[in-house]
Each structure stands twice: as structure tokens, then as C-alpha cells.
Structure 1
Amino acid sequence: MDTLRPFPKLPATPREFGFYIDGAWHAGREMFERASPGHGVAVSRIPRCTSDDLNAAVVAARNAFEDRRWAGISGAARAAVLLRAAEILKRRRSEIAYWESLENGKPISQAMGEIDHSIACFEIGAGAARMLHGDSFNSLGDDLFGMVLREPIGVVGLITPWNFPFLILCERVPFILASGCTLVVKPSEVTSATTLLLAEVLEEAGLPKGVYNVITGSGRSIGQALTEHPDVDMLSFTGSTAVGRSCVHASADSNFKKLGLELGGKNPIIVFADADLEDAADAAAFGISFNTGQCCVSSSRLIVERSVAAEFEALLAAKMAKIRVGDPLDPDTQVGAITTDAQNQVILGYIAKGQAEGAKIAIGGTVKDLGHGQYIQPTLFTGVTPEMAIARDEIFGPVLCSMPFDTVEEAIALANDTVYGLAASLWTKSIDKALTVTRRVRAGRFWVNCIMAGGPEMPLGGFKQSGWGREAGKYGVEEYTQIKSVHIETGKRNHWIA
């Protein structure tokens, strides 16, 4: 699979996977069969792990942490493993992208780009492993010296979603490993294959046994049990705000484990009249259609200056009409299939609700029938008001709502009029507007005259109900450490008791 042309074919039979604990593969007793959302054909069989499997994985991760087979080696030695993993990913790039596309429904060309980003995450993680350090205080007087140590937090539970199974995994794993922690990973049951493939990659790269463990199964059973597990020191969860809230309760009810949460978003793309409207229209079309809109940082609220709103909506509709919706395995496809039946129904339900609320469809809003799979045309609603459900709720699909503004203050207010604060995009040629809006819109990631740009050097995370903590880069390594203050006294003690 070194080339995408002719584009890959479906597997003749579903591939059966095991789960991975303490450096060994285990067969599942009960299996879940996954059908490709783009084709309706079974492509993989994944184990439904039990609570005993989970406990075994946590024990393996705990043992690997406590005997210091990973935490006790140098940052340079950890970096070498991460760099070898990056090289193996380069070799297996097409294979991993193929399985990502099969199970998720995303275009394979997009999946290939995501593997490239994942490779970069391992390379950045390797550098961060060597650069991680504490601090010293030489300001406590001649008789006292202070040090601040950064130590790995311990066993990390990692729960990843179905929309970016490999990308989100790799925006966490190399940085968690760089810190010296060990992991128990629980992928979405509908997109588990590539998380299991990463186990093969890390084993070949020389990662010690027990450092990376994968259990598979449903979020309600295995995911919840991992969240509640008393011997897990930290949990990283990516998914909905509702489930993130349940993670907070579970942590409080178990061992007060630290949480890293990347949750929902209802992200604005703000377009001023002085912007390059052609560029902004292309960005808006991309921002709502990338990964079929099943993206936590999708720009799903268009906030456009009223004087150019009609012109811009027409430009945008013309762009969106040209988007190629089709077979995920076709390299020319830009928008693939909706990943799950349930999400397909949610998106169609919101399209119907938007019409019922009085918004107008400028483009899209229909199902595309390819004779197999589930596909929705990217949709633009105009005439949207802020109180409409389509303007407030995270739809998690290719549905964009357009709302006008007249002043900078109104644009900022509309952008902040949400419980979320994950990402935002701003389009203007005015540096004054760019700096003013960037400073005042509450979002963890901000793009000015670009969208979904940047690499794993930069931190990821949200404000408000979009989450806690930061991932990637040096911040993503530090997130998985805890700080210890050390005081060292020199000379003879000044006795309290004479």
C-alpha cells in the first residue's frame, strides 16, 4: 500500500484484532464487528474487554511505572524510542491511513495528512523529552537552596473519540510518554484499529512492556470503569462536554485523579468587510466540511459583517457547491461518510430543526445517495438568529450558520455568546481589529487569516465548558507531571531548643 492509485479496495473479510496488555496480545472472548460507514461492509472485529481485562491493564501500567523501567531512564533514551516510532509510522503511513479511513469514513487523503501530523507529534515529543526540566532557587539565602522537580504523574488513562482516532491519540501519547508516565488507552469501540496498530509500532520501537496498554470496549462500561479506577493517577478524555462532566464526578467519587479534558465547541469564524473575502470563503467552507464537520474545532458559526454578508454568503455557497462528497477510499474525495448511524440522525435532525426555526438553506441540507454508506452535503444556513438551536448546540456535522454583525463590539459579543470556548477564526486586514478581537474572544485556539493551522509545537485546549488543561508541545508534557518543591539546608542548624 505505497500508493493511493488505484485507490485501495475493501478488505475481503473483516480483520480480527486482539487487545494489548503488558507487551502481549490477547484474544477477545466477545467481539464487536465494525462496518465501514462509507460502504456498509464489515471491516474489523474488535474485542469487548471486561473489567478484569481493565484491571490487568492498570496493574501492568502500575508495575511498569513503579519499577521505573520507563520513568527511570534518561530523557534522551525516551526520545530515542519516540523517534524510532516516528520512523516506523513513516513506513506504515499508508496502512494506518487505510484503516483510519475504513473505520471512520474520512477521506483517505485527509487520513494520510493526519498520519503526517502524528509523525510530527512523535518528533516534537522526542525533543520535549530531552528538554523537560524543573527549576532552582538560589535566592533563599546562603544556608538554603531550593529546587523544583517535575516528576511524571504516574499511570494515565487515555480515552479517545471516534472522530480523529489516530490524530488525537498521537497528540497525547508521545507527550505522555515523554513525561515518563505509563498508559492505559481506551479508544472508541467503533474506531479501535489504529490505536491497536500503534501498539505494534511502539513495541517495534523498543517501548518497554507495560508502558502502553490498550483495552477496547464501550465507553459506558470500560470507559466509565477506567475513569473511576482508583489506581489511575490521571485521566485524559476527549469527547462531549456531557461526558466530560461525568468524568469530573467520577474523579471526585474515586481518588481525585487529575483530569485533562478536551470537550465540545461551537466555534466562530468572524469575517470583517475588509477581509480577503475569497480567502475567507474558502476557509469557511473548509472549516465546516473538514472531517465532515465531525471536528471539535470546526467553525460552525459564521459571524460576518452585515455590509458584505449577502456577497460573502453567495461566495461561500458557490465554494461549498464544488466540494467533492464521495467514497472515502477515493483520493479525490474531500468529504467522506458520517461515522456513526446515531450521528447521522443527529445531523439530519438539526437540519430539519433549523428549517423549522425559520432559517434558510443556501446550499446543501440533503443526503447524498451513493448506493452505500451515509453521506450529507455540507450545509449553509442563512437568516440565523442567536437563539436558534442550530446556532447554540454543537451539531458535530457539516452544518454552518450565518449571522450578521455591525460593530466590532457586536462581533465579539456574538463570538462569546456560547458556553464553549475551544477555537475561533478571524478574517481582517486591520491589525487593530485582529489584536482587539483576538484578545477578547474567549477561545483556547485562535487563527487570524487562517484556519486549523499550526503544528504540535503549539498547545491545544479550551476555555469555559470546552475543557481543562493543555495538550501537545512542552505544555502537553508538563500537563502529565507534578511539581515537587525541595529545600536543601547547608551548614549547622540554628537550634529551636537551646
Structure 2
Amino acid sequence: MTKIEINAPNGTKLSLPDGLFIGGEWKTPRGGEQSRIPVVYPATGEKICDVAVGSSADVDDAVQAAEAALAKDWGLKSTPAKRGELMSKWADLIEKNAKELSILEAIDNGKPRWMAEQIDLADSVACLRFYAGLADKVEGKTMELDVTTKFAHTRVEPIGVCGAIIPWNYPVQMACWKLGPALAAGNCLILKPAEQTPLSALRLAELAQEAGYPAGALQVINGLGSEVGAAIASHKRIRKVAFTGSTVTGRKIMAMAASSNLKKVTLELGGKSPVLVFDDVDVEFAVPWVAMAILFNMGQDCCAGSRLYIQRGVHDAFVAKLTEAFKAVKIGDPFDDTTSHGAQVSEEQYRKILAYIAHGKDEGATLVCGGADSSSIQGVPKSGYWVEPTIFTHARKGMRIVDEEIFGPVLAVIPFDTEEEAIAMANDSEYGLGAGVFSENGARCLRVSSAIQAGTVFINNYALLSNAVPFGGYKQSGHGRELGVDAVKEWTEVKAVHWNIGEKLEWPLRAA
């Protein structure tokens, strides 16, 4: 097996398997050695290496390998206890290699390396351990229909061959959100990483193999969404696909899934999440949370709090403190442990964000701070993809910075007068993934959180998810749930069994 040799920007030398992980082996793509895409380091815009990418023919091979695994030693041929044991071993190996994986995440994504290790990787390990513990606790039910003649029971069974298409903002974490419940339930999963961030999935597969997963249980095919992603979504023998990404792509995946074989689909899509700040709030307490809501991961977060509604009585004071918080963010080298704001993931995303900043100015919003790009931010490579944390005030419905998902560090601020007005503005969106409420009034927090149309509402905090709590969206932010016990349900089928103990049937049937 050939290797991808990487010289990381911090001087670390890394070696990864080169190829597609199919049927327990590292294979050359069906398209040959020339089937490759470059990996670009967002901080500098320079190529780090390139990776092998697959095609629909490679997806066919992965499906065949998965079906063989289900027939031999996985799915219903495995035990929940064994699946939990394997996942625990895998989690331990990921934890042991967390620093290496965090370096890969920083290279791929441009995020601070320390953040990848201490937050993304730590949560990924915890996620797998959660589902390792849950593997043998997925239960059916027994129903007594007639004490003497009949009862019924349900079996919770794996779906079978499944696909997962993950985004580039949290490569390891999003993989584990899907791999945890899918493998714990006994499915075989074909994973397609984002083409912008293909490296860490190769190492995850290598560690899964080391943990002892049977050939075909987990497979990784890097490639383009238009080729590998489409092949997974439309494959007639893949029974479920899970996708995290844009709403536009989610619609396409749903259409392909429906037209192929009506496969099950779970979608965690875009967001334009509102954060509501009421005038009874403790400004010093709330500002750091509101800043993190939009700036964490450089604003590249599906539930980023990108619409900020502030009650008029505290509006000016809050914006002043929030501006200070934005300006205090250190932008710079992802391998510097004092950096809190890295580069955007790609040139395409960088230019998209800058275009939205230009729209904000053109449409009449007031630029309070930020808005600078790589050419004018001090201390960063001009060739990289850097955007300064940005605040607009005097924003309103109808502006693109208010209505559309930017997926970058750009915040639109809108004042409000009453609770009812704030709720109405918060819900005036086709998205419904996350929301935040900041108030010292407990009754108000309950009323507002109940009225907001979103899958997750944070009260006096933001972005603190838990592996035990389901996560997903309303409206065009998707359907289905990830995390928690609810996620396992998305990866299983419920079979009803009706058992006759001895009741005789008189045939032909006649009226009593």
C-alpha cells in the first residue's frame, strides 16, 4: 500500500494510507492512479498533498462488500455487546491519536489545532463512547394481545447498507455523529467525506481497522459530491442515506433517494439561527455567549447565531460590548495555541462570505466592525482565506445578510421592542435549526423558547450540545435527528411479530 506523506505546517510529519477503504482493504480507484484531488491548506492557499477519489463504480464495490459483511459477521450476525466493545476500542484509539487527527483537521479545515483537539476530537470520542454504551440497550417490546392464545413483539433491526455524506466544517465530529449510531445498530456504512476535507477520514478508517471492525462494516470513499455523493444517494441497494450540508444539496439528495428506491433519508441542513437578547439581561454575562454563537469555527457552523435581535433598551450598550469582544479575537496561525480564529475553509467559501459583506454594505446596513479580508488583516498570509469577524447594525428583513445563510463570521443585528415582535421576527425564516434566548426572566425564557420554531433552543448559553440530547431542524433545516437515543431510531427498522399460541381458525369464514 502506498502512503500519502504530509509535512504539516508545524513541522510534524504524517503518513496516511493512500486510496479508498473498501472491503477492509486500501484500493486504487477504478478510475486509476490519476483519480486524485488536491488538498489545500486554507491558511496559505497552498497545496499540501492530493488524495485518491472514487466514482460510482467504487460505490458499487463498497455496496457489494457491505452486503457480504452483513451476510457473514455483521448486522444480525453480530451481537450488540460485540458492537459496543468494538466501538469502545475505536474510541480509545481515536483518543490516543487525537493530536495527530487535530493536525489533519487544522490542515484540512483551517481551524485552530488546539480547538480541533480539545473540542472536536474530545466530543467525537465521547460520542462513540455514548453509542458504545447504548449498543446493547436498543430494545423491542412485548404486547399481550390475548393471554391464552396470542402475543406480539417487536424487533429493532439494522437497516443494512447505508451511506453517509458529511460536510467540511467538523470532519471527524460529523463522521462520528453518523458512524456512532449507525455501527452500534449493526449497519454497514459507506462514508463520503467532503472533498475539501478528505484527510482525517482516512485515519479514522485505519483506526477502525485496528480496533477490529470486520471488512465491509465501515468504508471510506473520498470523491466529489457530484460523483460519489450522487452515487450513494441514488444507489438502489443502499437503504438509507444521511447527509449534513446545505439545503440546496439536501433537496437534490432527497430527490435522488426517492427516485432510486425510496431509501430512508435524514438531513441536517442549513440554518439562519436567531439569538434574542432581552433588556433584563446581564450584558457582561451574555456578550461572550453571543460572540461565540457566531464566531465559533469561524462562523462555519450550521446553527451559528447569525441573526441577533436586541431589545431596544439595551441595544446600544450591548452592541458596544459585543464589538469589543469581536475585536479581541486573535486571528492567525491555526498552529498557534493562542489563536481563536483561523482561516475559512476554501477560496470558494472565502469569496462567498466577502460577497455577502459587500451586499450588506450595498443594501444599507451599517458596518460596525470587521469586514476585512486577507489583503488587509495584519499577520496572516495574503494568499490564505481570512475574514475578519464582522458586525452589521441597522439590518432588516429583505437584506441578504439577514435572510440567507452566509456560513461565515458575519452577524446581522436588528432591534426590537416587544417579546411578540422578537418571536415573530425570529420565526420569519425558512430555516429552523437553532436559536438562543438571553433573559433573566424565567417565565419569559419558557414562553419564548416554546414559541420559537427551531429544533434546538439555547437559554442563556449557546452551542453547548450533548451527545445525549437529539439535534436536528424544523422547516428547511432538515428532518430526522442526530445524537441521543433518537439517532439510533434513524438507523433501525422496527419489525412487528404476531405469534399465535394455539387459536384455531375455522375456514371458510362465517358470520358469528
Distance (whole Å) between structure 2 residues aligned to residue 384 and residue 41 of structure 1: 36
Partner of 1:17: 18
1:141 CA drift (Å): 4.7
Counterpart of 2:37 in structure 1: which amino acid? F
Instruction: Indicate the larger mover: 247-256 or 48-57.
Output: 48-57
Aligned with 2:77: secondary structure?
coil
Distance (whole Å) between structure 2 residues aligned to residue 414 and residue 142 of structure 1: 59
Of 59, 83, 92, 2:64 maps to 59
Partner of 1:440: 451
1:448-472 per-residue CA deviation (whole Å, 9 max, x = no partner) reads 1111113211111111000010111
Structure 2: state its 5+ residue gaps: 1-7
Partner of 1:471: 482
1:280 CA drift (Å): 1.4
Maintained 8 Å contact 1:16/1:46: no
1:133-189 per-residue CA deviation (whole Å, 9 max, x = no partner) reads 111112445321011211111111100011111111111101100111001111111
Q: 1:88 to 1:15 in 2, by over 3 A?
A: closer
1:292 aligns with 2:298: yes
Maintained 8 Å contact 2:343/2:384: yes
Of 230, 234, 237, 2:240 maps to 234
Partner of 1:400: 411
Maintained 8 Å contact 1:16/1:44: no
1:263 aligns with 2:274: no
Maintained 8 Å contact 1:13/1:42: no
Of 40, 44, 49, 1:44 maps to 49
Counterpart of 1:252 in structure 2: which amino acid? A
Partner of 1:496: 507
RMSD: 1.6
1:187 aligns with 2:198: no
Distance (whole Å) between structure 2 residues aligned to residue 138 and residue 432 of structure 1: 44
Distance (whole Å) between structure 1 residues aligned to residue 463 and residue 503 of structure 2: 59
1:411-434 per-residue CA deviation (whole Å, 9 max, x = no partner) reads 111111100000111111111111
Partner of 2:5: none
1:144 aligns with 2:150: yes
User: What are the residue-to-residue correspondences of 1:38-437 with 2, within 5 Å?
Assistant: 38-112=43-117, 113-367=119-373, 368-369=377-378, 370-371=380-381, 372-437=383-448
Structure 1: which 4+ aligned runs deviate by more than 3 Å?
10-16, 139-142
How high is the sequence identity, in percent, across the aligned residues?
37
Partner of 1:3: none
Aligned with 1:185: secondary structure?
strand
Distance (whole Å) between structure 2 residues aligned to residue 497 and residue 228 of structure 1: 46
Counterpart of 2:63 in structure 1: which amino acid? V
Distance (whole Å) between structure 1 residues aligned to residue 108 and residue 230 of structure 2: 23
Counterpart of 2:248 in structure 1: which amino acid? A
Instruction: Indicate the larger mover: 65-74 or 35-44.
Output: 65-74
Aligned with 2:306: secondary structure?
strand
Aligned with 1:326: secondary structure?
coil
Distance (whole Å) between structure 2 residues aligned to residue 496 and residue 438 of structure 1: 59
Maintained 8 Å contact 2:17/2:203: no
Aligned with 2:388: secondary structure?
coil
Counterpart of 1:456 in structure 2: which amino acid? N
- TM-score norm. by structure 2 comes to 0.93
How many residue pairs were aligned?
492
1:307-362 per-residue CA deviation (whole Å, 9 max, x = no partner) reads 11111111100111100111111111111001011111110000000000110111
Distance (whole Å) between structure 2 residues aligned to residue 256 and residue 439 of structure 1: 34
Partner of 1:32: 37
1:10 CA drift (Å): 4.9
1:491 CA drift (Å): 1.7
Aligned with 1:304: secondary structure?
strand
Maintained 8 Å contact 1:104/1:162: yes
1:8 CA drift (Å): 6.2
Counterpart of 1:57 in structure 2: which amino acid? A
Partner of 2:471: 460
Distance (whole Å) between structure 1 residues aligned to residue 484 and residue 309 of structure 2: 31
1:72 CA drift (Å): 2.1
1:240 CA drift (Å): 0.4
Distance (whole Å) between structure 1 residues aligned to residue 360 and residue 11 of structure 2: 36
Aligned with 2:238: secondary structure?
coil
Aligned with 1:261: secondary structure?
strand
Maintained 8 Å contact 1:71/1:181: no
Instruction: Indicate the larger mover: 55-64 or 375-384.
Output: 55-64
Maintained 8 Å contact 2:307/2:402: yes
Aligned with 1:171: secondary structure?
helix
Structure 1: state its 5+ residue gaps: 1-6
1:14 CA drift (Å): 9.1
Aligned with 2:462: secondary structure?
coil
Q: 1:140 to 1:341 in 2, by over 3 A?
A: farther
Distance (whole Å) between structure 1 residues aligned to residue 342 and residue 67 of structure 2: 40
Aligned with 2:286: secondary structure?
helix
